[in-house]
Structure 1
């Protein structure tokens, strides 16, 4: 008896299709498996790398140890030593206290102490003394003497030179004038005339210190003015 197959039930026609479908399914599973393993490995590697980076970047926290100051030294022990002295020692000298009360009728003797004045060196030249030296007749007489005796130098008049000459000199204890010098001059001609007229002055009244005549340094300005 011959077996008759229906052409619809013949599977030989779709054999290749099933084989291709199976290959596609197998390849799909293999692809998914490979993709799954690579993603897992990449995630694991990335996680490990991040952990290593975090471990490298972690900075250890250090704290400075506080140094405790040394304890203060113990206070020194004070040993009290008591010297016991017997009360049998006799004092050779006794302190005598006298009554110093003073009544209205008590007489008090005052002792006069003579103070000798210090000797003044005769060669010392004073700058300032109790009584300064003065021209006989006063300042007005001195100004009249200068105006009457000064001769204006011709050279200075021709050149129109004028000004004030400061002359320093010493008035001795006898009233004589010495050590004449120009401290601040204007012109050699005027300076020489100022020295000449000071030399021609009469004796001054000497200065006094503690009631005694002394040598005194004196400064005199002489003004030369052209009329």
Structure 2
């Protein structure tokens, strides 16, 4: 038969209390060990009676420097007095070797403008005298009315308007470099170029009285009747 312990003899119930008590004692001993102070009981030394040699160390001899040399003497300018009675004479020799006669006439200098060089191949857009077709503009209109044909394609499509043709009049009046500046299509542009190329020679344009190459722009109108 197993023996039973009395509740008063059971020590397991007080293990928590003993553990807390042990921790408190250990912490207290640790803090006491950190806070513990010890002092040395040795005899104190009187530093006032010690011998020192500070004065000997600080006794620095004074270095004697020689005085700076005196500045060099400044030479004063010598002022020479000239009495008022003495006149200073200067000899000025003037030699007039040029004989001026009243009959001498000075010609007036006329500055002429440099001649303007005109290049032979230069093409002028604006000239003093404009080129003219044979018979003037009325003769030109008669030439167009006789030689200008309305293209069949433009007539069938109902195209009408103004073709602007640009070309060059040479110094001999011949026509070259015919181009369409603004066209309307339908074969009208080609017909305008053809009729200008086949035109007779014009009277060339003139600049400063000389015939020059001139660029012309002419409108050619196509209108259905």
- Tell me the TM-score normalized by structure 2: 0.53
Structure 1's unaligned 5+ residue stretches are 1-85
Aligned to 2:200: 202
Aligned equivalents of 2:97, 2:220: Cα separation in 1 = 77
Cα separation, partners in 2 of 1:190 and 1:90, compared to 1, 3 Å: same
Match of 2:224 among 217, 223, 226: 226
Aligned equivalents of 1:125, 1:114: Cα separation in 2 = 27
Aligned to 1:172: 170
Q: How far 1:188 sits from its partner (Å)?
A: 5.0
Aligned equivalents of 2:210, 2:115: Cα separation in 1 = 11
Q: How many residues align?
A: 138
Secondary structure, counterpart of 1:120 in structure 2:
coil
Cα separation, partners in 2 of 1:89 and 1:191, compared to 1, 3 Å: farther
Matched ranges for 1:1-227 at <5 A: 88=90, 90=92, 92=94, 117-227=115-225
Runs of 4+ in structure 1 deviating by more than 4 angstroms, as ranges, are: 91-96, 106-116
Q: Is the 8 Å Cα contact of residues 159 and 186 (structure 2) preserved in structure 1?
A: no
Aligned equivalents of 2:179, 2:143: Cα separation in 1 = 19
Secondary structure, counterpart of 2:144 in structure 1:
helix
Q: How far 1:120 sits from its partner (Å)?
A: 1.7
Aligned equivalents of 1:162, 1:131: Cα separation in 2 = 33
String of CA shifts for 1:25-45, please: whole Å, max 9, x gaps. Answer: xxxxxxxxxxxxxxxxxxxxx
Structure 1 stretch displaced more, 143-152 or 87-96: 87-96
Q: How far 1:110 sits from its partner (Å)?
A: 6.5
